[in-house]
Structure 1
Amino acid sequence: MTSAARPLVIGHRGASGYRPEHTAAAYRLAFRLGADAVEPDIVASKDGVLVLRHENEISGTTDVADRPEFAGRRTTKTIDGARVTGWFTEDFTWDELATLRARERLPQLRQSAASFDGTAGILRLRDLVDLMPADALMVAEIKHATYFASIGLPLEELFASEIRDWATSENLIVESFEQSVLGQIRERGIPGRFVYLLEAAGSAPDLRARFGRKALPYSAQLTNAGLARLAGEVDGISVDKKLLLRTDASGAVVGSTDLVKRAHAAGLEVYTWTLRAENRFLGKGMQRGSAARDFGDWRREFRIILDSGIDGVFADQPDLVRELLDR
């Protein structure tokens, strides 16, 4: 377990507060700003190449919608129970995806990052492996594994094959909202730590696919009994920061919950997402000024989370977390 006094600082999709996410520039900047690790989201192309995108639908993070040669690829699909319209990585070969240019996902909020639109292409997992510093950690998130398996693209197999020669117990954490894929990757002999992602509401996609409305909700997995069960199956959990922030009757943040303490007592590491400095993302009572893009009282919110005993935090602006820790 990491030291609670010095949690890991994980660049969320790189330094995504400053550069378009999942680009080489975002990852390199994250390490320059003091991140211990970076987090790639992993999806697949039509020909089984592992691609770094937050979602398999890519119209919000690339210029695909402006490319007339790909206009006919726009479609609507059901992904983990949700209807989504756009352009999807699994409908393109890697050679086609390699022609696209990355864009800022939140251009109105992060205008500086948006100024880098079009300056970089998108990356494969193997490209990130090549640019990782020797002592850095990768926190690899496997996205929509049940869905990809249903269309003949088994992410656990593709990931294990791609990462096997690089991964060690020291440089890799694998995470997913689907616990089943974590077990499948571990069974393939991939070293590292395995972390289960949990939302504040709902239930896991693989459990919904298997059990429908009877799927065990995340809330049941976060009870003391649920945490004890998870401790026998995974190394840690990673949760929405809402689950760590205690609020008063008005909804204002007043402190931290006991989740970290309870999970540690069960033997689990605990991580949280996502620390972001802009007013739009801060808890009630942390905003400063009226513009969503302005930085609010991020120091107060970040400090509450860091003081909870957390083992690692995902941050869009890793330098701000590092500033607090270095103090």
Structure 2
Amino acid sequence: MHARAVTASAAALLGTAALLLPLSPARAAESSARPLVIAHRGASAYAPENTLAAVDKAAELGVDWVENDVQRTRDGELVVLHDDSLRRTTDVEEVFPGRAPWKVKDFTAAEIARLDAGSWFGSAYAGARVPTLEQFLHRVERHHQKLLLEIKNPQLYPGMERQILKVLGNEGWLDRPHVRNRLIVQSFSADSVRTVHDLRPAVRTGFLGTPPVSDLPAYADFTDQINPSHGSLSAGYVSAVHALKGAHGKPLEVCTWTVNDAAAARRVAGFGVDGIITDTPDVVRDAVRG
């Protein structure tokens, strides 16, 4: 067993550390209210996901944190899209009918830029485009927001971590204010998260999933957050995560997803989570702060 496991108290492993340990203080400088509310793919209940319009809607609602997803095109451009296929959220079937299964990696950035990424959601958003990562960063910066960036499908895009970090650096997102307070990079791939940490140790990272408590010390070596689905969460698990210090020497945090109703928001807030990722940030914010 990893040596760090020895430092986790038996009480934490039994789920009773909530009685002994305070919640992580890492958010105190940002807001007096906990947990943080993070707009999933932008305010995606109200505007088409991962578009600039969804970022704008989150800003309109007064939401500081925005989450997004990054894929890579055939010619190496990073674009903001959740699925590895363009089919669900664009009109790619109409524009390129003979190119099923319409995978992002099979289209150039110029081809993807032709697609309508808004009409599927509503006529008011007709003509919205799939943004590049640079375009997305510019819009988040314009609103003085903060970014939880998810590396999607890194197994499909070798070297994606280094490329994302290069874009972040070129756009000014790897300076001290950003990496300390405005940027977190996460993935379902532990290898991808570890790679980001190794390449840029200053960048805060998150692992998407619910590792067994016994495995948490190993994750704590290279990540700052453990971010599970809310359906897999318990107060004991949150306490076990908080009992460990992450890669930057502060208590590991928990951001849970995807919570879209008030009852679920109050439930996970009661567990002591540090952040809630949601399509309906206004609903969640009112529930946890009201």
TM-score > 0.5, shorter chain as reference: yes
DSSP-derived class of the 1:138 partner? strand
Larger helix share, 1 or 2: 2
**Displacement after TM superposition at 1:257 (Å):** 3.7
TM-score calculated relative to the size of structure 1: 0.72
Aligned partner of 2:140 in structure 1 is 132
DSSP-derived class of the 2:228 partner? strand
CA deviation digits over 1:69-122, x for unaligned, max 9? x22321xxxxxxxxxxx2111111111110001147xx6xxxxx4343523111
Are 1:161 and 2:166 counterparts? yes
CA deviation digits over 1:54-81, x for unaligned, max 9? 01211000000111xx22321xxxxxxx
Cα separation, 1, equivalents of 2:111 and 2:162: 23
CA deviation digits over 1:293-321, x for unaligned, max 9? xxxxx322211111211111111011112
Report sequence identity in percent: 33
**Displacement after TM superposition at 1:5 (Å):** 5.0
CA deviation digits over 1:170-227, x for unaligned, max 9? 21100000111122222222642100011xxxxxxxxxxxxxxxxxxx6xx322x211
Superposition pairs for residues 218-297 of structure 1, below 5 Å? 221-223=211-213, 225-244=214-233, 256-267=234-245, 268-276=252-260
State the one-letter code of the partner of 1:261. S
**How many residues are matched?**
249
Distance 1:138 1:19, change over 3 A: same
Structure 1: tracts of 5 or more residues without a match = 75-85, 108-112, 199-217, 245-255, 277-297
CA deviation digits over 1:269-288, x for unaligned, max 9? 10100012xxxxxxxxxxxx
* Alpha-carbon contact 1:46-1:92 (below 8 Å) kept: yes
Aligned partner of 1:90 in structure 2 is 105
* Alpha-carbon contact 2:39-2:280 (below 8 Å) kept: yes
DSSP-derived class of the 1:275 partner? coil
Cα separation, 2, equivalents of 1:59 and 1:233: 35
DSSP-derived class of the 2:98 partner? helix
* Alpha-carbon contact 1:19-1:116 (below 8 Å) kept: no
Larger strand share, 1 or 2: 1
Aligned partner of 1:321 in structure 2 is 284
Aligned partner of 1:101 in structure 2 is 116
DSSP-derived class of the 2:216 partner? helix
* Aligned-CA RMSD value: 1.9
TM-score calculated relative to the size of structure 2: 0.80
State the one-letter code of the partner of 2:39. G
Which one scores higher on RCO, CA 8 angstroms, separation ≥ 6? 2
DSSP-derived class of the 1:270 partner? strand
DSSP-derived class of the 1:132 partner? helix
